[in-house]
Structure 1
Amino acid sequence: MSAADTVELALPFTGRWLVQNSPAARVPSHGTTLFGTSHAIDFVPVGEDGRSAPRTLRSVFGTERPESFIGFGRPILAPASGEVVSVLDGESDHVARRSVIALLGYALSQPSRVRRGASAIAGNHVVIRVGGALVLLAHLRRGSIRVRPGQRVTAGDVLGECGNSGNSTEPHVHVQASESFGRNARGIPLVFTSAAGARRVPENGEIVVA
């Protein structure tokens, strides 16, 4: 596979996850092409009710502990076989923000994270070389990463746990493929293959079950 091809992945988790910022809706999916994010996708773990955490006064007016979210600590799996080329662990899992007030303050601090580079955006993460592409799984829980650079992994191996590190407003996993993680890196399209063999990019608002 060359870096110009679409990267075929398995869903990197089990259970129920809500799709956000999908490239099926628009490209660039996150509103920017910086750091190879043009075709990135986010998955938020949810319960049977489709919610990531109960709604409380704190969720309406303030910040919330990441531990109060149903998916915090869920295993994150290798979406393809390949070589681990980069790992970052040790970044804090910060408070979650779902209220308009909390999100506004967070948005104002976004330029400072961009200036600090890709690692400040990704937080704790694992990068796997899959053919000619680098596949990033970001926002992992501090202290949970189980792999190291140079290690070969097989699709389905546990890499770490869902967290809220880096540029994250609630616990979720960010998945992208790119040629590199430089500021002007080119993103590479993704497609996910189900257990039944269907190949597709999940839609925004869809709940996928793996």
Structure 2
Amino acid sequence: MFPIFYSIGLLIILPASFIISLWKAAFKSKLEWLLDSLVTTALIIWLFQAGNWSWVGYYVRFLWLILLIVTFFFSWKRVRNLPFTIKYTLNQKFSIGIYIVLILFFGTYNALIVKSYTVAEKGIELSFPLKNGTYYVGQGGNQVLMNYHQDHPGQKYALDILKLNTLGTRASGLYPEELDKYQIFTEDLYSPCNGKVVNIQNGLPDLPPPKSDPENPEGNHVALSCEHYDATVLLFHMQKGSIVVEKGEIVTTGQILGKVGNSGNTSEPHLHIHAEKNGKGVPITFNDRFLVRNSWVR
């Protein structure tokens, strides 16, 4: 239940409280309004970029931007005739100090997130392994605030991919136990490259969320040695018994490998994909796109 409350609190309650505060606050000067506006803007931009919006709806992130603009307009009308500064009381000075701290805090977060969008290393170009839907990157990018895999050298630059429904959520319900309520469950997985199957696992069970199997973190999976690249591409958490290729088999780009499941150390159905070389993760791109959290692929 914690992920549910965390998502609602972080992506709904937190931005709502900041926007309501900006809307209703009784400012005594334009400086106070400006600092509150900067804090609220930095927060909304941070959540817009780094929030996992597949829980509450991808389109909600745009709603907060619209509400922020509307709030700017009406709150400015109330303060435009105020002086820029006044002689502040001790409590007002303390509030201004808090504003400055929050601006630095959220500003630093946003600066770090910018790093997620680019990578200096040369990436491996792959074909996207899913078709016929709207797919969403839940974890991805070159910074741990956007991609927790960055803390694990062997999975650096890994992606966790979900599928969205028409409401912009990844499942019917917030965190259902039924696997078939997740949009991506049983989706066909296609080979992202020409290459050779170097390893498979096909017999592990698909677990109902939030159960997981930390003793077999990869779950059912396929490992490919792709042509032209000295690296191994791995696709994790596949459906039990769904893998239709054999170890040692030569595969071509777009060939069906199996289906998305919920096996291994996973919190819910999704595709985990990454490439590694000599035990270290290397970047992957699709149509020359380096995908990050909140990226879409259709």
Q: What SS does structure 2 have at the residue aligned with 1:93?
A: coil
Q: What SS does structure 1 have at the residue aligned with 2:180?
A: helix
Greater percentage in helix: 2
C-alpha offsets along residues 15-70 of structure 1, whole Å, 9 cap, x if unaligned?
Answer: 11110110244487424225x101111111221221121126xx3xxx60212212
Q: What SS does structure 1 have at the residue aligned with 2:149?
A: coil
C-alpha offsets along residues 64-91 of structure 1, whole Å, 9 cap, x if unaligned?
Answer: 0212212211101111110000000111
Is the Cα contact below 8 Å between 2:143 and 2:150 reproduced in 1? no
Structure 1 or 2, whichever has the larger Rg, is: 2
Range with bigger deviation, 137-146 or 5-14: 5-14
Equivalent in the alignment of 2:179: 66
Is the Cα contact below 8 Å between 1:29 and 1:40 reproduced in 2? no
Counterpart mapping for 1:97-116 below 5 A: 97=210, 113=214, 116=215
Indicate which of 52, 57, 76 corresponds to 2:170.
Answer: 52
State the alpha-carbon separation in 1 of the partners of residues 246 and 122 from structure 2: 26
State the alpha-carbon separation in 1 of the partners of residues 147 and 266 from structure 2: 18
Q: 1:169 aligned to 2:267?
A: yes
Equivalent in the alignment of 2:224: 128
How far residue 137 of structure 1 moved from its aligned partner, in angstroms, is: 0.5
Greater percentage in strand: 1
How far residue 203 of structure 1 moved from its aligned partner, in angstroms, is: 2.4
Equivalent in the alignment of 2:286: 192
Equivalent in the alignment of 1:32: 151
Of structures 1 and 2, the one with the larger relative CO (CA 8 A, separation 6+) is 1
How far residue 200 of structure 1 moved from its aligned partner, in angstroms, is: 1.2
Is the Cα contact below 8 Å between 2:140 and 2:147 reproduced in 1? no
Matched positions, count? 174
Indicate which of 18, 22, 26 corresponds to 2:140.
Answer: 22
Equivalent in the alignment of 1:42: 160
Question: TM-score by structure 1 length?
Answer: 0.76
State the alpha-carbon separation in 1 of the partners of residues 262 and 149 from structure 2: 17
RMSD: 2.1
Is the Cα contact below 8 Å between 1:24 and 1:201 reproduced in 2? no
State the alpha-carbon separation in 2 of the partners of residues 28 and 96 from structure 1: 21
Q: What SS does structure 1 have at the residue aligned with 2:217?
A: helix
Q: What SS does structure 1 have at the residue aligned with 2:241?
A: coil
Contiguous gaps of at least 5 residues in structure 2: 1-120
State the alpha-carbon separation in 2 of the partners of residues 167 and 44 from structure 1: 16
Equivalent in the alignment of 1:157: 255
Equivalent in the alignment of 1:79: 192
Q: 1:208 aligned to 2:292?
A: no
Equivalent in the alignment of 2:208: 95
State the alpha-carbon separation in 2 of the partners of residues 31 and 132 from structure 1: 21
Equivalent in the alignment of 1:139: 237
Q: Percent identity?
A: 31
Equivalent in the alignment of 1:9: 126
CA gap 1:30/1:20 in 2 versus in 1, 3 angstroms: same
